[in-house]
Amino acid sequence: MTDQSDWRPATKLVRGGLRRSQFRETSEALFLNSGFVYDDAAQAEAAFNGDVDVFIDSRNGNPTVATFEDRLAALEGAAACRATATGMAAVFAALLCQVKAGDRVVAARELFGSCHYIIAKLLPRWGVEVEFVKGTDLDAWEKALSRPTTVTFLESPSNPMLDIVDIAAVTELSHRAGARLVIDNVFATPLFQRPLELGADVVVYSATKHIDGQGRCLGGAVLGAKDFIDDVFQPFYRNTGPSMSPFNAWVMAKALETLDLRVERQTTNAARIAGWFEARSDIKQVRYPGMASHPQHELAKRQMSGFGSLVTIELPGGKAAAFKFLDALSLIDISNNLGDAKSLVCHPSTTTHSRLTEAERLDIGVTEGVVRLSIGLEAPDDLLEDIEQALAAASAA
Ligand SMILES: *Cc1c(COP(=O)(O)O)cnc(C)c1O
């Protein structure tokens, strides 16, 4: 077989991890089964000893799930990947498999709400010391990492303000403190940011977002070096059971075939809409990493090869204006999902970030006027017409 690691990304997305059965099917087969049988008792014994490499049950591994895992690993340039039932299962397992009471975790404070919950609320319950730092402040990382640390965790671009963290610099500080750096790479997608090449140790995804990208299945993935996945992650995964359903893996593997087409088009649309917002005088702030006005635009250009499908704006009229804007949109749906073919909008301060205190929200820039848009695959002129009439409705407040 051709060495898949030599393929270019588009080829990896269509053919990576392909496992044809004896029936020579064109499309990937769906092995919708929970278990597997053995030729004889000795083979079962050898399977449990790890002496032969066969599927034992779908909690441990499954051919369809393995196709998705290998395809994503090929794209990411990772030696190994395990798929999980949700993005949060990926984050939880990637963190919990490597910490014990007395360990220390340092994380950026700008995080997806449930990631923040795991680190701020659950880890301390199990005796893990945690510290949050402002992700864009390298001095704060350096200070927090002046003590031995087990794991560091960050998201870049962050949700919803699209802050960019210097992954190479945080990698160096993490390694000096003895920590593995885990990156939640959802907003960048595997196409536009390659954390392992920047030095990070582990990458996690919510496959629910751009990877499915069509609002069908929940899923997640953890990628890293083979010894991390096999020796640190797999025992936790096998015994706690956050595995991905083979059906969802089949949907996700097929979705990867079009990931680059969808994300490229969404990004073109998002850049156009961000530029359109910036040209208006009735928007207080536009955040898009691809625009020179973004506070970390230079860093974004250095560490990303594309700027993604999310655009965040701040309306001057606070919550009243934001709600009027959301309610007046007729094409764009109100939803906290993102990365979808359908354009979606959310009001972070009352939904995704409502569990933070007001002070915590303001610290990360989430005022009541902030609105996050996930730009989809519709004709951008239709999106702009919808946005323009909704802004008119909002300013008539
Ligand atoms: C959605 C999301 C998650 C959680 O993913 P689920 O698949 O919904 O569990 C984690 N991190 C980020 C950045 C996300 O956007």
Q: Is the pLDDT of residue 1 over 60?
A: no
* Ligand 1 midpoint to CA 395 (Å): 32
Q: Is the pLDDT of residue 305 over 70?
A: yes
Q: Is the pLDDT of residue 106 over 80?
A: yes
* Ligand 1 midpoint to CA 45 (Å): 38
Q: Is residue 36 part of a domain?
A: no
Task: Give the chain's mean pLDDT.
Answer: 96
Stretch 301-320: mean pLDDT:
97
How far apart CA 34 and CA 56 sit, in angstroms, is 9
> Could you say which of 210, 241, 256 is where a domain stops?
256
Tell whether 197 and 265 lie within a shared domain.
no
What residues line ligand 1, using a CB cutoff of 6 Å? 86-88, 91, 112, 115, 155, 159, 184, 186, 206, 208-209, 218, 220
Q: Is residue 37 part of a domain?
A: no
* Ligand 1 midpoint to CA 87 (Å): 5
Q: What is the CATH number of the domain that holds 110?
A: 3.40.640.10
Stretch 216-243: mean pLDDT:
97
Q: Is 276 helix (H, G, I), strand (E, B) or coil?
A: helix
Among left, alpha and beta (phi > 0; psi -120 to 50; other), residue 57 is: beta
Q: Is residue 89 part of a domain?
A: yes
How far apart CA 82 and CA 310 sit, in angstroms, is 26
DSSP 233-250: IHHHHHHH--BPPHHHHH
Taking the CA of residue 89 as reference, the ligand 1 atom at the shortest distance is 9
Q: Is residue 40 part of a domain?
A: no
Q: Is 153 helix (H, G, I), strand (E, B) or coil?
A: strand
How far apart CA 61 and CA 244 sit, in angstroms, is 9
Supply the pLDDT for residue 397.
Answer: 55
Looking at the DSSP bridge assignments, the partners of residue 195 are: none
Q: Are strands 80-84 and 310-314 parallel, antiparallel or unpaired?
A: unpaired
Q: Is residue 232 part of a domain?
A: yes
CB atoms within 10 A of CB 128: 20
- Token pair belonging to 141: 């990382």
Q: Is residue 200 part of a domain?
A: yes
Closest CA to 33 of 47, 16, 21: 21
Tell whether 252 and 190 lie within a shared domain.
yes
Where does the pLDDT of residue 365 fall: very low under 50, low under 70, confident under 90, or very high at 90 and above? Answer: very high
Tens of pLDDT, residue by residue over 171-224, are: 999 999 999 999 999 999 999 999 999 999 999 999 999 999 999 999 999 999
* Ligand 1 midpoint to CA 44 (Å): 37
**CA contacts within 13 A on the Cβ side of 123:** 32
Tell whether 141 and 239 lie within a shared domain.
yes
CB atoms within 10 A of CB 103: 18
Supply the pLDDT for residue 110.
Answer: 92
Largest CA distance in the chain: 76
CA distances from 288 to 137, 146, 164, 270 (A): 19, 33, 10, 9
Taking the CA of residue 91 as reference, the ligand 1 atom at the shortest distance is 10
Where does the pLDDT of residue 395 fall: very low under 50, low under 70, confident under 90, or very high at 90 and above? Answer: confident
> Could you say which of 256, 281, 297 is where a domain stops?
256
Supply the pLDDT for residue 355.
Answer: 87
Pocket test of ligand 1: the residue of 206, 309, 310, 312 to mutate, having most ligand atoms within 8 Å of its CB, is 206
* Ligand 1 midpoint to CA 43 (Å): 39
What is the count of structural domains for the chain?
A: 2
- Token pair belonging to 282: 């009735």
Q: What percent of the chain has pLDDT over 70?
A: 99
How far apart CA 269 and CA 248 sit, in angstroms, is 28
Lowest mean pLDDT among 2-6, 169-173, 225-229: 2-6
Q: Phi and psi at residue 193, in whole multiples of 5°?
A: -150, 130
Q: For tokens 């087990």, what's the residue? A: 150
Where does the pLDDT of residue 5 fall: very low under 50, low under 70, confident under 90, or very high at 90 and above? Answer: confident
Supply the pLDDT for residue 4.
Answer: 81
Q: Which one-letter DSSP state was computed for residue 107?
A: E
Q: Is residue 54 part of a domain?
A: no
Where does the pLDDT of residue 2 fall: very low under 50, low under 70, confident under 90, or very high at 90 and above? Answer: low
How far apart CA 369 and CA 275 sit, in angstroms, is 19
> Could you say which of 256, 285, 305 is where a domain stops?
256
Where does the pLDDT of residue 387 fall: very low under 50, low under 70, confident under 90, or very high at 90 and above? Answer: very high
Tell whether 266 and 242 lie within a shared domain.
no
Tell whether 102 and 230 lie within a shared domain.
yes
Tell whether 118 and 77 lie within a shared domain.
yes
Its pTM surpasses 0.75: yes
